[in-house]
Amino acid sequence: MTLLPATMQCVALALGASTPLVLIVCARIISVRGAGSRYLLGCLISIVVFLALALILPGARDPIDLFSGLLLLLAALLVWNVPWNLLAFGFTLTLLTALVKVGRPTTQAEWISAYMQGADLGKFARNRLQLLLSTGMATIDQSQIVATPFGMNCARLIRLIRLLCGIR
């Protein structure tokens, strides 16, 4: 019994690891609009490349190895979906669900209240500020909120990732 992964399992692991690069390439395709569409296109490209390599690479293919490789690739695509969705949709989708939960046309103040579960926007801002302070991304200096070097580096990293992936 060999413990080395089969060829198609190695292909799946390599494609899974290269998913961010595929997404960066997809971000450069101007005709594809929207972060969700770009992610789906990246997934489709990875799956097509996997299937093409299954046909092109020399050697016999065990159907179980092919299937397990496909499952590995799909698992990797699901793993990358989490940071992608956090970058692209996290806050926006939460605001949307609050709007839908109201169940009727609403004012901006009512929408914010629904999002904050009855609280106002000031409480939300204080809550987010506490999060920034507790993680060391911001500090208060003479009653002014200041980004720390760690916070500035985190913001730069997020902006760079968003830029590379075509997320606004």
**How does pLDDT run across 3-54, given as a tens digit for each residue?**
888 899 999 999 999 999 998 888 888 787 777 888 899 999 999 999 999 9
Q: Cβ neighbours of residue 125 under 8 Å, at least 6 residues apart?
A: none
Once rounded to an integer, what is the mean pLDDT over residues 115-140? 82
What was the pLDDT predicted at 117? Answer: 76
Which band of pLDDT confidence, cut at 50, 70 and 90, is reported for residue 159? Answer: confident
Two structure tokens written together for 131: 């999060």
Distance CA 65, CA 54 (A): 10
Q: What are 147's strand-pairing partners?
A: 138
Q: Is 120 a residue whose pLDDT tops 90?
A: no
Rg (CA), the chain: 22
Cα–Cα distance measured from residue 12 to residue 17, given in angstroms and rounded to the nearest whole number: 8
Cα 132–chain centre separation: 21
Does residue 128 have a pLDDT over 90?
no
Cα distances (Å, whole numbers) of residue 53 to 12, 69, 80, 156: 10, 12, 22, 37
Q: How confident is the model at residue 161 (pLDDT cuts 50, 70, 90)?
A: confident
- For the stretch 26-35, what's the b/e string if a residue is b when 16 or more beta carbons lie within 10 angstroms of its beta carbon? bbeeeeeeeb
Q: Model-level pTM?
A: 0.63
Percentage of the chain exceeding pLDDT 90: 32
Residue 70 DSSP code: H
Asked if residue 166 has pLDDT above 80, the reply is no
